[in-house]
Chain A
């Protein structure tokens, strides 16, 4: 089976879970007797000497096409225009985000004529129009994979253009794959798509259980980690508000905020206003081994997302032997029951659960072991097979 896949970001050029998930899906599909042609936008500001798309370049079953396009995943309209100023030959790109997406789709769509395929599979809104254009050419079934909707990123104030593009993608798709039931419900409710058109395939992680130091529970200064973009979607302010409440009971606790984003400045001010400047450390954006180290050093990982379609980063935490507290507004707990859960706005309960994890070793112990057992049941190999089975129904 040949797949024309429209991706958006791919390791090592990724700033978040979308790239990691795409890599897992591609690797999984390749093990199920498929050939993939992956079309990716390539931002000109990315240095080419680092360019070595994972270990896949030697695999004959996968080919890549890159299309110059300076739209970065997770960045809004405003950022696009800002970034454009720093790019050479800026005039060759769309003057705003939407013109650029249009331009990209015009270039990426015709790949459907160049590369034989049985299925078109596209990841998130930027690629949907390209896929629709491709489908017009090849008349092959189009699967729209949704990793995060505009409503997750922007909450009450979605960008109407992006929202419409997503809706158009869902409507043109022959099947939609959502990363969680949580996301499926969102698509049914807000995009008015019939539930029967949507299949749920949860994300997994690449098995790579790291050797981690067993934590010494008796050690006095406990560490609680936030790791993600410091943006509205990820709920950083709820983390800090809970931190202030935890500090009342356990004043030695250290809270790490790893990541960057448009709310970072406000968060630094907030720690001051809450009187916890001494408890909170900001690490900036972390990559690779530093991420693992951050998880391994932490006694608890907190993901207080306002809306999280999946939350792959929670799986990375479990892999590193660190228990997880997520918001009820997250998809990941559908596949990992053994994590702590709380409504993102309920910072009292968040603090209660943080204190309990830090104080009560037996719970910590059960969370680490049982969540790892949950994770063992989750393989990209199996998830990719589910995706392939969806292809065959089309």
Chain B
């Protein structure tokens, strides 16, 4: 029986403020975002274009079709912004709570700060996942059972860690070189030597079908444009394997694909068309109950869901990115030493993957700089502000530690 598993990623980072050498002497806030794109302004914009109308639609659909199910992974930094930004934040949070209350929505676990802690510090990774799980539980009354790592970054190690933390499975990209000719539409499990637990499984993103919705939906040069629900149901049918995992950014609805592309109308009619054609909807946990025939999938090297390369190069390619990432994680011991929750929070917000993405020079030289999505004008501007903040933050840490020594 064909079944669709929807997972939507909901995330907003705390973008750093424009921070110059002159600001080192000031008390300027670290996380307002650059002046031309403040974090609050972005949140408000996306709330109106995506979060509120999308959640309203999803709620309607669930009421109309009790068989319709979806899942979300919502970062801690997003939820903090909901709580920080007044009425609009409250409204957005409530819309997610209403969905949670239907019982048809699963919430996944991830790192609270949308970080790559898994690659740099296991204890810190565990702390961030725990903090996230606790917040989801507190806000929605649900305990996440399935894990997804930041940007779908995965290798065997992630499965090992997720199993240790008690999850029943992990989501990853259904990337061809990893699958080696196998279908992404089946359930898999990590190699036994990594995770002996037979109940632990893997769900692979069908990137072709996911991207039909997330990227190609409004592309007039695409041979299948315009995408109708009938066509899409056919695509699902013609795919080998029953588990069709459609993973995408939630901003697909209304922000990446604007309302006038018809994306909301597409979603409005999709559940009905699927159900009529005996295509069911499943949440990730439900899908992972079906591991009887799961094959082993060995993924020794890191893959992600980003770019054509599906590797780490969007965040860890040039010197600025590598040194910044190493720098922030190298501060762990000192940050912990301060026993100061505010400083720990700053440190973790500085780990959010988006900061490093903004420093990417990958597509910068191709001339098509407009494709480059960042609140900063150039990767160098992103780096300078981040690096200056890091310098200031190091001072704060040193001062705190020195003060503690004197107090003793």
Stretch of B41-49, B142-150, B198-206, B318-326 contacting A (4+ beta carbons < 8 Å): B318-326
Chain B interface secondary structure, helix, strand, loop or mixed? Answer: helix
Stretch of B126-134, B160-168, B212-220, B362-370 contacting A (4+ beta carbons < 8 Å): B362-370
A288 CB-CB contact with B under 8 Å:
no
Q: A349-B20, A352-B21, A353-B384 are contacts. A366–B320 as well, Cβ < 8 Å? A: yes
Q: In the complex, A373 Cα to B366 Cα: how many Å?
A: 11
Q: Are B378's CB and A341's CB within 8 A?
A: yes
Q: Are B384's CB and A348's CB within 8 A?
A: no
Q: Are A366's CB and B20's CB within 8 A?
A: no
Minimum-distance CB pairs A-B, first 8: A362-B319, A352-B20, A362-B323, A356-B384, A365-B319, A355-B21, A366-B318, A362-B320
Contacts of A352 in B (CB 8 A): 20-22, 384
Q: Are A338's CB and B364's CB within 8 A?
A: yes
Residue of chain B at shortest CB distance from A340 = B380
Contacts of B320 in A (CB 8 A): 362-363, 366
Distance of A215 from chain B, by nearest CB (Å): 15
Q: Are B318's CB and A370's CB within 8 A?
A: yes
B38 CB-CB contact with A under 8 Å:
no
Q: Are B387's CB and A356's CB within 8 A?
A: yes
B183 CB-CB contact with A under 8 Å:
no
A374 CB-CB contact with B under 8 Å:
yes
Residue of chain B at shortest CB distance from A351 = B21
Distance of A300 from chain B, by nearest CB (Å): 12
Interface positions of B from 348 to 383, Cβ below 8 Å from A: 361, 364-365, 367, 369, 377-378, 380, 383
Distance of A347 from chain B, by nearest CB (Å): 11
Distance of A197 from chain B, by nearest CB (Å): 24
Q: Chain A 16-41, CB within 8 Å of chain B: the 1/0 string?
A: 00000000000000000000000000
Interface positions of B from 270 to 324, Cβ below 8 Å from A: 318-320, 322-324
B9 CB-CB contact with A under 8 Å:
no
> 10 additional contacts, CB 8 Å, given A337-B369, A352-B22, A366-B319?
A340-B380, A352-B20, A352-B21, A356-B384, A360-B383, A360-B384, A363-B383, A370-B318, A370-B364, A374-B365
Contacts of B387 in A (CB 8 A): 356, 360, 363
Provide 16 A-B residue pairs closer than 8 Å at the C-beta atoms, listed in order of the A residue: A249-B21, A337-B364, A337-B378, A338-B364, A340-B378, A351-B21, A351-B22, A353-B380, A353-B384, A360-B387, A361-B323, A362-B319, A362-B322, A362-B324, A363-B387, A374-B365
Contacts of A338 in B (CB 8 A): 361, 364-365
Q: In the complex, A393 Cα to B377 Cα: how many Å?
A: 37
Distance of A263 from chain B, by nearest CB (Å): 27
Distance of A368 from chain B, by nearest CB (Å): 10
B155 CB-CB contact with A under 8 Å:
no
Residue of chain B at shortest CB distance from A373 = B365
Residue of chain A at shortest CB distance from B19 = A352
Contacts of B388 in A (CB 8 A): 356
Residues of B at under 8 Å CB distance from A? 20-22, 318-320, 322-324, 361, 364-365, 367, 369, 377-378, 380, 383-384, 387-388
Contacts of B323 in A (CB 8 A): 361-362
Number of A interface residues in the complex (CB < 8 A): 23
A254 CB-CB contact with B under 8 Å:
no
Contacts of B319 in A (CB 8 A): 361-363, 365-366
A367 CB-CB contact with B under 8 Å:
yes
Q: Are A370's CB and B365's CB within 8 A?
A: yes
Q: Are A366's CB and B361's CB within 8 A?
A: yes
Q: Are B380's CB and A363's CB within 8 A?
A: yes
Interface positions of A from 357 to 383, Cβ below 8 Å from B: 360-363, 365-367, 370, 373-374, 377
Residue of chain A at shortest CB distance from B20 = A352
Interface positions of A from 312 to 368, Cβ below 8 Å from B: 337-338, 340-341, 348-349, 351-353, 355-356, 360-363, 365-367
Contacts of B383 in A (CB 8 A): 356, 360, 362-363
Residue of chain A at shortest CB distance from B388 = A356
Distance of A127 from chain B, by nearest CB (Å): 31
Residue of chain B at shortest CB distance from A323 = B380
Contacts of A360 in B (CB 8 A): 383-384, 387
Q: Name the contact of A337 in the complex, choosing from B21, B318, B322, B367 (C-beta under 8 A).
A: B367
Q: Name the contact of B20 in the complex, choosing from A340, A341, A348, A365 (C-beta under 8 A).
A: A348
Distance of A344 from chain B, by nearest CB (Å): 16
Distance of B157 from chain A, by nearest CB (Å): 26
Q: In the complex, A270 Cα to B118 Cα: how many Å?
A: 54
Q: In the complex, A233 Cα to B282 Cα: how many Å?
A: 66
Distance of A260 from chain B, by nearest CB (Å): 31
Residue of chain B at shortest CB distance from A355 = B21
Q: Are A337's CB and B365's CB within 8 A?
A: yes
Contacts of B324 in A (CB 8 A): 362
Which one of B22, B324, B364, B377 has the highest number of Cβ atoms from chain A below 10 Å of its Cβ?
A: B22
Q: In the complex, A348 Cα to B369 Cα: how many Å?
A: 25
Q: In the complex, A341 Cα to B380 Cα: how many Å?
A: 9
Residue of chain B at shortest CB distance from A334 = B367
Residue of chain B at shortest CB distance from A336 = B365
Q: In the complex, A167 Cα to B323 Cα: how many Å?
A: 52
Residue of chain B at shortest CB distance from A371 = B365
Residue of chain A at shortest CB distance from B380 = A340
Distance of A299 from chain B, by nearest CB (Å): 15
Distance of B156 from chain A, by nearest CB (Å): 30
Distance of B277 from chain A, by nearest CB (Å): 49
Contacts of A361 in B (CB 8 A): 319, 323
Q: In the complex, A7 Cα to B319 Cα: how many Å?
A: 44
Distance of B406 from chain A, by nearest CB (Å): 28
Contacts of B322 in A (CB 8 A): 362
